[in-house]
Structure formats: C-alpha cells, structure tokens
Structure 1
C-alpha cells in the first residue's frame, strides 16, 4: 500500500511544478464560514491542478499525447492542460455524459470518444487505448501525481486562513480529498462530504477497504465514482478523515443558496460540501474555523432556479 500513498512533500513539489499554470483561487468569509472558490479554476474545477501536475511530471510525451476517461471535469482539465502544452488529447466519456461538458471538451480541442453508459466502460476503453498507442493515461482521481496536484488547494487554504481547523470537501473518487488531507495533515482536519446516493468514502471506511457502491442522484455526473480510489482510502485512514452524508435535497438547497445569497454558480457536486453545513450533517464547535471547498462550476445556468420553482432533475450516473 505504501506506493499508493502521498505526503505533504508530494503536494509541495506539485505546487512548485504547476505554479503559473493554475489560478490561485480566492477565499471569502461570511457568517463564520470561509469559502474557497475553486470553481473559478481553469475549466471550472479543481481538476486542472492534478492534470497539469501529471503531465509536467511525466516529462516528454509521445506523439500520441494524453488519454483520459471522464464524465466531464477531469477530461476538461486534461484537455486544457494538453492544449497549453500543444499535445494531443483523447477523452473517453459515457454516452450519457452532460452535454455541456462534452461540448466544452470539443471546444478545447480534445478528440471525444463516447463509450458505454457508465464511467467504467469509458475507463476500460481509455486504458486500452493509452496502452495500444503509448499515450500518457491520466486517471480521474487515483494516481499520485493527480492527487498531489489537487492537494495544492489545501496549501493555499493554510496560507490564506490563519488558525484553520476544518476543511469540508466533496468526495467522489477521492483524489481531491486525498490531496488536501495529505497537504494539511497535522495542521487541519478534513471531512469528506458525500451524497447518500454515492457514498464511496463512507462505505470504504465502514468496510475497511474500498468497495463498489451503487451510484445515482443529482451530483452523479461529478461525484459518481462507484469506488473510492486506493490512494484516497490510504490517506483517509492515515489522516483520520471524517465522513458525513447528505441527501440530494440538501445538495439542491445548498446550490440554490449559494446562488441566491452570493451569486455563486456551482454544479451540484460543487455545492455538496456546503450542504453538510446547511443540513446540519456537520455541526462546527463554537469558535471552529471551517472552510468549505466549492469545487466545480460546470453546470447549466438554466437550472439555477429560485427555491420557489422546481429543483434540477437528478442526473444519470456516469
């Protein structure tokens, strides 16, 4: 399992590699809560950090470039990073991937391959293609360079918020959680927040190992991994990462609250960490300094309805 671990030093090296390639996203506080606006990152999610770190760390690439499998955000990040370095990118996605993300992939110059009706189908096709053509495979969440790159968000939070106690982070495959937990280990606590309809971390901690889970619900397009990554599990156990679950209704309410209160447009996965506070799934102690990571903004603005109208429809699992 040791080769599947990452440490603070891995995240620090990643930060040095990707400096100048990613945005240092802002933090703002309101009513005792601090929001890290990572949905303002390149391509609309934190995933750009890991993609740049993976590609830069690999060194010289073959003419085949890079390959990824993604329901959306990871593929967008890989396509963006590849374009910045002038290398080819091919992204495999399920046929039911959100149209807004597929269109953006093509705008970024990636070759898009629609395969199967779930993420696992796209993943298998991408792995085979990378091996056949000698391309660099960029995992959506379970590679050391990917996790370490995502963890640079945690270093920024430590630098920007004195006395930070807790970071609430949405969990899908767990790469973001793993990176942040490694970055802040011994200095702040990390709590993973998941939809009840996609509890990869919660199930893994209960079972003592990553296990498959059924995935559905409003945030499935971005938090729809069916199994927690091995790196994420190893780091979560070592760093004693907490785990809480929220209902789809709480995610929808949190997303609408972010829009109504602050005019912050995030996707359902991006609102999941905030849902833990609004729904009471996580209750801070008096004086506890809590940061909420808003991790993604790749959403259809038409679904930013007011609380008096119908909530967004549940999305098909990736």
Structure 2
C-alpha cells in the first residue's frame, strides 16, 4: 500500500482526499498546467511517424476491414454537433461529440492505440523476413507467407474490454494467435465477441491492475509472446495521439476556429489513462494552449486523479484510499493509473472531474433522448465535464466543447436497450442546473 501521509503534500489537500473517500463528485484543477517540464521521449516526430505508418497500412486495412473502404483504410471517427444538448444545458459555445463509438474494427477509442501497436509488431516481423517497408505493397501482408510467420507468435494484452477487442480482432485478422487477459469487471458480451473471433480469453477473479501483473508474467514465460502493456506502452500512446492531426483537419473542414480566444475544451473519459493521455497529447501538439483537456472518471475509480493529485502516479491505487473500485463503467474500472499518463499529462492536463454512476446513467439517457446517440456508460461521462465547465473561470463563453465518446457501437442490441431503458428513466428523474 502506498504511503500518502505527508508525501508531496503540496500537491493535494486533505479536503480532496476526503471527497474522494466519500465518493463525492469533485473537480481537481492541475496546479502544474502549462508549466515547463523536461523533454519527453514521445514527441512531435514520433506522432508524425505514427500517422505515416498508419497511412502505409491503409491498403491492407481497407482489404481486411470492409467498413474502412469509405475512408480508404484510415481508421477514424466523425465529429458531429450536439445542438439539442447545447440548448438543454444552456451552453453558449458550440458543443460537439467525437464519435469514437463508431470507430471501425472495434468501435472504441482503443482502436487507435491497440491496432497501431499490433501493426507495428507485424511490420517489424515482416521486415525481418524480407518485406521492404519503403517499396512493397502493404496489402501483401495478407499473403500466406506472412500469415505463417505471424501465426508463430501470440499477442497478449490485459483489458477490461475495449483494448482487448482492438488488439484481439487486429491480431487474429493478421494471423497471430491472440490471448486477452480480462479482469472480473469485463462484460460478458465483450468476452463472447472475442471468443467468436477465435481469441483466447483468460478471466481473472481480480481487479484490473492485478490482472495486468499476472498477464505480464504469463507472457514472459513464452518466448514467442508479444505483450501489449496498457500501463506503460509508448506505442499505444503514440497510436492514441494520432487523433490530434485528424481532429485538426476535421475541425478545419467544419470551419471551426480554434485559438486562444476560442479554445477547444475536450472532455475525455479516463480509466488507466493511456488513451485519453495520448489523445490529449496529440491535441496539444496541434493546438498548443488553444486546447484545454479535461479528464472525467467515476467517483468509485478516480485513479488518474489520485495519482496526479498526490504526485504518486502509478505508485498509488484507489484501493489504497479504501475505495471499492466498483462502477457500471466497465471500461473505466481501473484502480491504478498508467505508468506514463501522469508523467506526460503533468503540464498538459487542465484538470479532472469525477462523476457518480447515477449521473453517468442520466447522461447516457440524455445522449439517447436528445441526440439519438447510443453509447455505453463509460463513453458518456464527458458530459459531466461539460456541465462542470460552466463553473471554470478559464473557459470563456466562446469556447468550443468536444465530448469524446469512447465506445458503444459493438454493444449487442438487447444489452443496449437494457442500458437505455434504465438510463432514460434516470434522465427523466434528474434535475440539471
């Protein structure tokens, strides 16, 4: 258990910790926001190269996944306006939603990072076996020669669901064996979806952080195993960060100005913190101070908030604080933050809001009833940040607000109906200021 008594006490207050212990909705403003820190190993060039690698793989992806044909093999999601919610919540600026629930292949924000890391490993193996990354057609990676090479390897990852879907589906499509290690928080339909696609799923009767440790150790025992480390992978991070370049183009095409006078405020659901950190990092590279990233976490699992506010980052868990880690937002049920999230976000994240499960369901009902958008519970928590923004002095009325919807399109119809019936009932009973 981490010792938080008296350690880096200037970075948090007992009041904040008491609020977290009582499962209260709160907002933590990052005191290090926009300070100058040492250069990090993932930089603008790394992210630029990641985008170019994904473009090289586009011909393969277009053939392998028919739903990417319209985008010519580029895995990306649309941005749309949400005028009904803007009026309902009395927001002055434009309100948008980034539809990562519609991401091709695996229907979540995890598609960027998970698919990118698998493709990096596949490219590395192919090059070692005669493939020329500068002149050969990447569609050739579907040939039997490379499938035989890939089939000798097993790709493994620990996941509460969405990252497992992304890694598992991409790995199995290329011809790799895939094993997904899942914590007890994983939902049945995600387990079934993976198994239906030939992916080996191992379930642990334990929380996510311990499942990761067990999975990492299991992978070490197999010399032909490649482990995708959700807690510390820079390739995952780089894959997520490719969103920045894409979002900049999308907003430009929509004729939406982003500047210091008209900032872009982005609300990102956070679990282990890797995917929202990568996205925020990529946006910061493109927009600088004109983008204001805010994370949102469940009150029962505020792992990134706890790590960043105490300065202990990965060395503290919500269980150290006595929290139970239980939430309906299975994709955010991660008790210990990423090894790199706090380090890369230390001066780039404006703050973190927490949301109760009750309000999370109300937001899910709001999204469905007002905008007719279906999303899983963990994908709607950004609305809490939007509501919180009205109380933040640094966010002007001229701001554009972007809620990041992280998943939902692959939820079975029956499960989604059950979600929404419950969510709309709670929405109708909830008072919004």
Same fold (TM over 0.5): yes
Contact 1:142–1:173 (8 Å) recurs in 2: no
- For residue 81 of structure 1, report the CA deviation from its aligned partner: 1.1
Report the CA distance between 1:3 and its aligned residue. Answer: 9.9
Contact 1:4 1:231 in 2 (8 A): no
Distance 2:53 2:80 in 1: 26
Match of 1:68 in 2: 157
Task: String of CA shifts for 1:28-71, please: whole Å, max 9, x gaps.
Answer: 11232011101111212111211122122232167132001111
Partner residue, 1:23: 75
Find the partner of 1:292 among 403, 409, 420.
403
Question: Are 1:133 and 2:218 counterparts?
Answer: no
Match of 1:85 among 160, 174, 188: 174
Partner of 1:195: 298
Tell me which residue corresponds to 2:64: none
Aligned length: 310
| Structure 2 residue 269 is matched with structure 1 residue 170 | yes
| Alignment CA distance shift 1:207-1:95 (3 Å) | closer
Consecutive unaligned residues of structure 1, counting only runs of 5 or more, are 312-318
Q: Is the 8 A contact 2:115 2:170 kept in 1?
A: yes
- Of the structure 1 ranges 198-207 and 60-69, higher mean CA displacement relative to structure 2 is found in 60-69
1:144 to 234, 241, 248: 234
Does the 8 A contact of 1:11 with 1:182 survive in 2?
no
Q: Does 1:40 align with 2:102?
A: yes
Runs of 5+ consecutive residues of structure 2 not aligned to the other structure: 1-36, 62-73, 84-93, 126-149, 259-263, 428-433
- Do 2:361 and 2:422's aligned partners in 1 also have CA atoms closer than 8 Å? no
State whether structure 2 residue 248 is matched by structure 1 residue 158. Answer: yes
Pairing 1:243-258 to 2, within 5 Å after superposition:
243-258=352-367
* 2:321 paired with 1:212: no
Q: What is the distance in 1 between the residues matched to 2:116 and 2:423?
A: 39
Which residue is equivalent to 1:52? 115
Residues 91-125 of structure 1, C-alpha deviations (whole Å, 9 max, x = no match): 11134521011001112221111222322343233
Separation of aligned partners in 2, 1:212 and 1:204 = 8
Q: How far apart are the structure 1 equivalents of 2:111 and 2:201? A: 18
Residues 83 and 246 (structure 1), Cα distance of their counterparts in 2 relative to 1, 3 Å cut: same
8 Å CA contact retained: 1:69, 1:93: yes
Q: Are 2:262 and 1:226 aligned?
A: no
Shift of residue 75 of structure 1? 0.6
Give the whole-Å Cα distance in 1 for the aligned partners of 2:389 and 2:281: 26
* 1:108/1:141 CA distance change after superposition, 3 Å: farther
Quick one: structure 1 residues 69 and 306, their matched pair in 2 at CA, closer, same or farther if it must change by over 3 Å?
A: closer
Larger Rg: 2
Q: 1:305 aligns with which of 413, 421, 425?
A: 421
Q: CA RMSD in A?
A: 2.4
The residue matched to 1:230 in structure 2 has which SS? coil
Aligned with 1:261 (options 359, 370, 393): 370
Residues 135-189 of structure 1 deviation map (CA, whole Å, 9 limit, x = unaligned): 1101235310001111222322222114332211111111122212221221522
